[in-house]
A and B are shown apart, each in its own frame.
Chain A
């Protein structure tokens, strides 16, 4: 595929700003279309690879994506331009919605709508977790997932303690199984 010219910082900012501002209900599909189809900065496979990496490291996945792509073309300044594009427009929208909430949030109707919306949004989060569960290849993975859930949701163990114990355990287990 024909590669375009390297984008400038302004173009990086504007491209990610457009994806994030229009990305109601999840930025990923909008970002993918922009990066792969419109701008052709990455091929379909490169995008899938890079996104897997961005999910793997800490931080919001789409922000990491903007940082990686920005860094590739324009170094540190490109990374900052990409991250700001991904964050600033939705931040303004969300604060506007927050102001509405303060104004009208106590109305009974608004309360009902918010609760239902929040519940369905929690359902969306559940579906993300279940879809990760579909990729498990071993029974022990379900055990690790259950332990992580129990540690945080039921036993209220601090996140860092949980990760300090379970992450090495899970990595070690992977390593042992693979060596057999």
Chain B
């Protein structure tokens, strides 16, 4: 293994392992930071590739945080995918395991719901920042923002529907808009 590969793996670990422990509210809270690190700081992906990889990760099954796997794969092949995934999932998983043991005893304590209630607004702001990072990176023009707004309203109104059909309809709509305008 040559030196530049090792440097890359260390950079992937250095970016994703800390984010793993900061992802309160799930993988969606750290989209904005993943964007900043992988596009602006390390240039692993371009703006356009970032948006595309995000789209792929949302169209695929599984947790949305697998987005990280794709970025690792894009910049470092199979090993990159493995290193990025392990960096993102192992630290938070070890923490979850440790805290889960505590939760059995403290789950119904008032301080738990107090802290939870205090962190929800921060998760809310972070998740919005993630959506903003994706939309402002996209080169699709005004139709991108309209599609996002309509989709958000739709998913707000019907919270139980499977999002996948809507995502694909949106893809076709955007393709048609680009073909005609």
Contact = CB atoms under 8 A, between A and B. Distances in A.
Interface of A: 20-27, 29, 49, 52-64, 67-68, 71-72, 76, 79, 83, 86-87, 89-91, 93-95, 97-98, 101, 105, 108-109, 111-133, 135-137, 141-142, 144-153, 156, 158-160, 162-163, 166-167, 170-171, 173-175, 178
A175 B151 CA distance: 37
Interface of B: 18-28, 30-33, 36, 51-66, 69-70, 73-74, 81, 85, 89, 92-93, 95-97, 99-101, 103, 107, 112, 114-135, 138-140, 143-145, 147-156, 159-160, 162-164, 166-179
A58 B170 contact: no
A178 B118 CA distance: 12
B32 A152 contact: yes
Given A57-B92, A167-B122, A114 B26 contact: no
Contacts of A29: 160
Contacts of A24: 59-61, 162, 164
Nearest to A126: B152
Contact of A153 (B114, B129, B160, B173): B129
A117 B140 CA distance: 11
A46 B88 CA distance: 27
B163 A178 contact: no
Contacts of A148: 121-122, 124-126, 129
Nearest to A100: B56
